[in-house]
């Protein structure tokens, strides 16, 4: 039968064992098949065993991967069959499955070996080289498709890049207060006037009220804030493979830990509907941000992740930005080194203490008023 699929060979014995376990479960109509033991244990020539047709008779499989067993010989086959004779409970059917190509000499040898075993009342022996396994896969299409999807997903790759800041340098802005000693200055002498005299009565109090109202500056309404200490981060995610990546998720954190924020200015959001739709795909915690519920990424897709903001810890010249990308059967980590170049808005503050106080540094917030 011609197959339109090119089925790649497993590259190691673990993958071959996984394939054979799924394939012979179907071929022998059994749910009892399982791997036998673990690496390093004495396995009596058996990697997989169970009751075929869910009856009482035991079937067993030995897996030989070409990448690890460069040449399959008659001696290797004979040795494995001899080991299997010691397996308990006794085996009724024995299969050697291998990624080696078919060989007429080995086929003849195994046929003879099988006949000898049966004459002695022992188990049958079959050799399934890769071409035989391919034919068996065509009879069990669901196993074939499952295996092909796994192989495809193993070829997944993606690239995470930093869209902003372009030069990998963030510049948080702080307000820095420098304390200076208040110099002694002569105090002005109090002046006595009519209002000083009347200050304790109703008329003086009323005049003071009108005077204070006239001196009160115009009240301005604060309608927004700009946190200049928070630095904007934007990431680009690209599917660089030829495979569609499913259930793509990205989680970002920093080392040392930074504070994470959703939006620097609230007025950027146009109504609660926009915010709701965005937050269904994005979550901002105190020290991380995650992107989820993203659509499948087809080959060569490039996706710009929504911006977020970080407030780096004070006193650090450099931080690591770590992006952890996961998809179905895929995990990858990307680390960016960000330089921190803090900027300061300075002001002096006079204090009574003669002892010099250290500078006070705090996040710089600009209030938008009208």
Domains of the chain (ranges, CATH numbers): 13-154 (3.40.1350.10), 158-173+226-343 (2.60.40.10)
Contact 178, 347 (CB under 8 A): yes
Q: What is the DSSP string of 199-211?
A: TTSHHHHHHHHHH
Mean pLDDT of 106-135: 95
158 or 275, which is more confident: 158
Predicted TM-score of the model (pTM)? 0.52
Question: Residue 149: in which H helix or E strand, if any?
Answer: helix 141-154
Whether a cis peptide bond, with omega within 30° of 0, leads into 164 is no
Rounded to whole angstroms, the Cα distance separating 349 from 370 reads: 28
Which is more confident, 359 or 289? Answer: 289
Tell me how crowded residue 48 is: count the other CB atoms within 10 A of its CB.
21
Q: Is the dihedral of CA 146, 152, 155, 160 positive or negative?
A: negative
Q: If you average pLDDT over residues 121-140, what whole number do you get? A: 94
Spatial separation of the C-alpha atoms in residues 7 and 18, rounded to whole Å: 15
The pLDDT of residue 181:
74
* More confidently predicted of 98 and 263: 98
Give residue-wise pLDDT tens across range 179-225: 877 764 445 544 444 444 334 343 444 445 445 555 555 555 655 67
Residue 20 in tokens: 């054979």
Residue 236: the pLDDT is 93
Residue 112 CA to residue 125 CA, distance in Å, equals 9
Query: Average pLDDT in the 240-264 region?
Result: 87
Exposed/middle/buried for residue 165 (C-beta within 10 Å: 0-12, 13-18, 19+): middle
Eight-state DSSP code of residue 42? -
- Pick 300 or 280 by higher pLDDT: 300
Whether the CB-CB separation of 354 and 347 falls below 8 Å is answered with no
**pLDDT averaged over every residue in the chain:** 81
Task: For residues 16 and 10, give the distance between their C-alpha atoms in angstroms, rounded to a whole number.
Answer: 5
Structure confidence by residue, pLDDT tens digits, 133-164: 999 999 998 898 888 877 676 778 899 999 99
| Cα Rg of the chain, angstroms | 38
Share of the chain above pLDDT 70, in %: 78
What pLDDT score does 81 carry? 94
* pLDDT for res 13: 85
pLDDT greater at residue 369 or residue 163: 163
What gap in Å lies between CA 314 and CA 311, rounded to an integer? Answer: 9
pLDDT at 77: 94
The CA distance from 222 to 354, in Å, is 37
Kindly tell me if the per-residue pLDDT of 86 is higher than 80. yes
pLDDT of residue 75: 93
Return the pLDDT at 183. Answer: 66
Contact 332, 325 (CB under 8 A): yes
CA-CA distance, 246 to 327, in Å (whole number)?
6
Are the C-beta atoms of residues 262 and 332 closer than 8 Å to each other?
Answer: no
The mean pLDDT value for 308-336 works out to: 91
């Amino acid at each position: 039968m011609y197959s339109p699929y090119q089925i790649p060979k497993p590259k190691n014995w673990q993958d071959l064992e996984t394939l054979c376990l799924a394939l012979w479960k179907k071929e022998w109509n059994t749910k009892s098949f399982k791997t036998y033991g673990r690496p390093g244990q004495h396995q009596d020539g058996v990697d997989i065993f169970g009751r075929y047709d869910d009856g009482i008779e035991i079937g067993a499989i030995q897996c030989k991967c070409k990448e690890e067993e460069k040449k399959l010989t008659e001696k290797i086959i004979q040795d494995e069959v001899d080991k299997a004779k010691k397996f308990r409970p006794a085996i009724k059917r024995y299969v050697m499955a291998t990624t080696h190509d078919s060989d007429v000499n080995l086929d003849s040898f195994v046929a003879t070996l099988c006949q000898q075993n049966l004459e002695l009342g022992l188990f049958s022996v079959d050799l399934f080289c890769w071409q035989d396994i391919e034919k068996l896969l065509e009879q069990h299409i669901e196993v074939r498709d499952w295996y092909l999807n796994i192989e495809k997903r193993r070829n997944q790759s993606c690239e995470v890049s930093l869209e902003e800041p372009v030069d990998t340098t963030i510049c948080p802005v702080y307000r820095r207060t420098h304390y200076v000693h208040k110099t002694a200055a002569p105090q002005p002498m109090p002046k006595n006037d009519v209002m000083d005299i009347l200050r304790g009565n109703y008329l003086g109090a009323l005049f003071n009220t009108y005077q204070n109202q006239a001196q009160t500056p115009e009240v301005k309404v604060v309608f927004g804030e700009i946190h200049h200490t928070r630095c904007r981060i934007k990431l680009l995610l690209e599917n660089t493979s030829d495979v569609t990546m499913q259930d793509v998720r990205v989680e970002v954190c920093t080392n040392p830990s930074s504070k994470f924020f959703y939006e620097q200015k609230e007025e950027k959001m146009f109504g609660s509907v926009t915010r709701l739709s965005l937050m269904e795909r994005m979550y901002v915690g105190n020290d991380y941000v995650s992107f989820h519920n993203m659509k499948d990424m087809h080959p060569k897709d490039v996706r710009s992740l929504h911006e977020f903001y970080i407030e780096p810890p004070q006193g650090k010249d450099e931080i690591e930005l770590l992006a952890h990308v996961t998809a179905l059967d895929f995990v990858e980590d990307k680390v960016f080194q960000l330089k921190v170049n803090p900027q300061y808005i300075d002001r002096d503050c006079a204090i009574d203490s003669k002892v010099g106080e250290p500078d006070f540094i705090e996040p710089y917030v600009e209030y938008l008023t009208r």
